[in-house]
Chain A
Amino acid sequence: MNHVRGLREQKGLSQTALAAEIGVARQTINLIENNKYNPSLDLCLKIAWVLGTDLNSLFWRGKNEEA
């Protein structure tokens, strides 16, 4: 689970703009937002840095989710 979409929209960034800032494809951002791709720690840190937040506020794992 993640807050990427909410924080991105708060910042007024489009998926394309965020992708360009981080250096990935727009589809990758879309898949991350829809929980269909697990990004690497490096990519998570980049997203958190661009969105001006930390990893704890951006990503979390629910109690019933598989490890």
Chain B
Amino acid sequence: MKKHKSIRASLLRWMFGIRGPLDERAEHEIGRVCTNAYIFLFLYFMVVLAVSLVLTNVLNPAQSAYLIIALVAWGWIISAVVVSIGISHSGVMVREVSSARYTAERRKLVSMALLERWLLHFSTTFCAHCHQ
């Protein structure tokens, strides 16, 4: 049970970028933001279902399938953005460091950001080469 709890906590910390301890306020904020995103997704998919009913009568199957998949993907993208903005506004991602450690931590974060940027660039270039 304890292991299950720690795995859940680790996953939550990783997914939402929580730096400090995963306390009840952090879980409360995550719950609030995710509930908002869920309500948005629910209403959005109701609209998408209604639109898809119309589309299947108007367009040919390939076109309507493409549009429906695109609409579903947009729903997920918008909800992911809503969650990201909500979590960052709630302040649970804030990392506090002492003034003595500030420069070192800043250097570390910049290095990590540059490494991630390079990895993203490398992976996209590699994928583009593979598709040619």
Contact = CB atoms under 8 A, between A and B. Distances in A.
Answer whether A and B are interacting partners: yes
Interface of A: 23-28, 31, 37, 39-40, 42-43
Nearest to B96: A26
Nearest to A23: B21
22 contacts: A23-B21, A24-B21, A24-B24, A25-B20, A25-B21, A25-B23, A25-B25, A25-B26, A25-B92, A26-B20, A26-B96, A27-B20, A27-B25, A27-B94, A27-B96, A28-B23, A28-B24, A28-B25, A37-B25, A39-B24, A40-B24, A42-B24
A24 B18 CA distance: 12
Interface in B1-57: 20-21, 23-26
B89 to A, nearest CB: 13
Contacts, number: 29
B24 A43 contact: yes
B111 to A, nearest CB: 25
Which residue, of A25, A26, A37, A39, has the highest number of chain B Cβ atoms within 10 A? A25
B91 interface: yes
A31 B25 contact: yes
